[in-house]
Structure 1
Amino acid sequence: MMPQPTGRLVRKDDGVFVVLDRIFKAPIEDVWSWFSRSPRLAEWVGEYKGLPSTGALKFRMNAEGDGAEWGDVSILECDAPHRFAADVGPAGASFRVFWHLKEASSHTTLTFGQRLRSLKDEAPSMGVGWDYYLDRLLAARAGKPMPDWNDYYPDMLDHYETLCRELDQDIRREQVALHAVNQRAAGD
């Protein structure tokens, strides 16, 4: 069975985020460990070096191949095992990520998001990429083979491109309506 896209776009005060959810039949501390312990993190997405308690790390996505470079991570929030937010990459070109974990009825729900700099240029590929990586997390936790990138890309692009077009249209309509309101207010 081919994987299905699961992401959505969410507008927040600080921008538009691609947001995805996954549910684990596991305690919250176990799920948190797949994000916070470098050996476990390395099984599905990448590895870090440094001490998280300093608020700054280096991170490298190991699934991107041997040439993946180390990037700076500035930790903005860490409320273990519930909330995490960080800027990843060099100043001026970094991207914001967050994950929130919530446990109920012996299941933990992960909500993961990345802020987008552009709806047109990066949103579709980011959505596809995070569907792929979060499915890698599911596979790593279950001891199953890693999913094949070719089952995600380009097949899932249409889902994310459609979300971006719809949100862009909504934003444009809001801007036109706001402009009309401002014009009327200026004419009074």
Structure 2
Amino acid sequence: MVEATGTVAEGEHGPELVFQRVYDVPVTTVWAHVAESDKLETWIGRWETEESTGRVLFYMTAESDEAEAEECLVRDCSPPHRLVVDTRTPTGTWHLSLGIQTTPHGTVLTFAQRLGADDIGSVGPGWDYYLDRLSAVLGGESASDIDWDDYYPALSDHYAALAPEGGVAPNPPQDGLEH
């Protein structure tokens, strides 16, 4: 049985859904799996850059080989410790951040998504699912062994209960990413 691991914390720009994972691999290995397209694709999707425009596109290929491109704006890329992106989804803009640090307990990945209008009851299980896929890959296992049906709707009530009282405002458009 899978467990919900996300918490809600106050971030720099409002409430965020935050996840942490600890890995027994170097920081550079975790970084490679979130920043290098070929390794990223082993658990969630791939990055592509349009050379003519410089636009960064993300394809969530874990869901479909014919995934639609989502435009990404890279706000901070400080290898191998920090990656902050805004990505346009069908429901609006998602503000995502990843921090990777070495600790006495191993390499810690902290992933956060700023809360907006999206349903935290579906977003939370989704990130647990994808981060568990990353954990499987970093542990030498196949991401395909992780089954979405174990996460949703089983974890939905847990995450729905974490929603801030009164909800949160929709995420406003950010430089270059209009809704």
Q: Which amino acid aligns with 1:74?
A: L
TM-score by length of 2: 0.83
Structure number with higher helix proportion: 1
Question: Hey, which bits of structure 1, 4+ residues long, moved more than 3 A?
Answer: none
Q: Aligned partners of 1:156, 1:14: CA distance in 2, in Å? A: 26
Structure 1: give runs of 5+ residues left out of the alignment: 172-188
Structure 2: give runs of 5+ residues left out of the alignment: 169-179
State the Cα distance separating 1:117 from its structure 2 match: 1.2
Using the aligned pairs only, state the percent identity: 35
Asked if structure 2 preserves the Cα contact closer than 8 Å seen for 1:86 and 1:97, the reply is yes
TM-score by length of 1: 0.80
Structure 1 residue 58 corresponds to structure 2 residue 66: no
Q: Aligned partners of 2:34, 2:65: CA distance in 1, in Å? A: 21
Structure of larger gyration radius? 1
Aligned to 1:32: 31
Cα RMSD after superposing both structures: 2.4
Change (3 A) 1:107 1:12: same
Asked if structure 2 preserves the Cα contact closer than 8 Å seen for 1:55 and 1:75, the reply is no
Q: Which amino acid aligns with 1:129?
A: G
Aligned to 1:130: 127
Q: Deviations over 1:134-157 (max 9, x none)?
A: 000011122323310001111101
Q: Aligned partners of 1:77, 1:140: CA distance in 2, in Å? A: 25
Change (3 A) 1:159 1:21: same
Q: Aligned partners of 2:150, 2:74: CA distance in 1, in Å? A: 32
Q: Aligned partners of 2:17, 2:54: CA distance in 1, in Å? A: 24
Q: Which amino acid aligns with 2:125?
A: V
Q: Deviations over 1:96-136 (max 9, x none)?
A: 10000110237100000111212xx4211111100000000
Higher relative contact order (CA 8 A, sep 6+): 2
Q: Aligned partners of 1:170, 1:76: CA distance in 2, in Å? A: 26
Change (3 A) 1:170 1:85: closer
User: What secondary structure does 1:89 align onto?
Assistant: strand
